[in-house]
Amino acid sequence: MGGDDEEEVAAEDDRGDDAFGDAIRDPQRECESEKEKSKFERMLEDHMKSLYPTTEEGQKKLGTTLELLQWKAMNGTSDKIFGRLLKIIKKMLPKGNELPTTIYEAKQVVCPLGLEIQKIHACPNDCILYRGEEYENLDACSICKASLSKLDSSCRTRFA
């Protein structure tokens, strides 16, 4: 690998070329309005932005915010309590950190296009997602027969 190839790889790394970055870039290319393109660009910037200046590799603003929102959904935490938690964590991090301080800001980082977050129940063994009223009264998974008594701890978050 020559010097030019190494520089090209370094530039790709700086742009955040990875599966998550590609998942943001692909729909961005298909946007018709500049406003939508700029929202995807901001999301891509947050994907590449370190959570704080001295953070370890991999601790990025978008990924950390998404992980915290997933934790919120999985635990059924209210917006008010989650907002308090964000403020506590932000104070614990070094100055200049990029962690959002409100649920609104966190959702803007993860869903700049105004997508809604939906909580969907899932089998504890990930056999099936339970959406709709027909699954409300089930006691066991219709596929693996696992008990659904702990259904709330088996939630998945999706963006619609």
Q: What is the pLDDT of residues 100-115, one digit of tens each?
A: 999 999 988 887 765 5
Clarify whether residues 79 and 148 are in a common domain. Answer: no
Question: Which residues on neighbouring strands pair with residue 99, listed in sequence order?
Answer: none
pLDDT exceeds 50 at position 159: no
- Counted residue by residue, the chain has a size of 160
Is residue 94 within 8 A of residue 54, CB to CB? The reply is yes
Q: What is the pLDDT of residues 45-104, one digit of tens each?
A: 888 888 898 887 778 998 899 899 989 988 888 999 999 999 999 999 999 999 999 999
Clarify whether residues 92 and 141 are in a common domain. Answer: no
Clarify whether residues 35 and 54 are in a common domain. Answer: yes
Clarify whether residues 94 and 156 are in a common domain. Answer: no
pTM: 0.61
Q: Which domain holds residue 23?
A: 3-115
Q: What is the pLDDT of residues 2-32, one digit of tens each?
A: 444 444 333 444 444 577 777 777 777 777 7
CB within 8 Å of 89: residues ≥ 6 apart: 68, 99
Clarify whether residues 103 and 37 are in a common domain. Answer: yes
Q: What is the pLDDT of residues 25-36, one digit of tens each?
A: 777 777 777 887
Distances 36 to 24, 135, 157 between C-alpha atoms, Å: 12, 36, 23
Instruction: Please name the helix (run of DSSP H) or strand (run of DSSP E) that holds residue 155, with its range, or none.
Output: strand 155-159
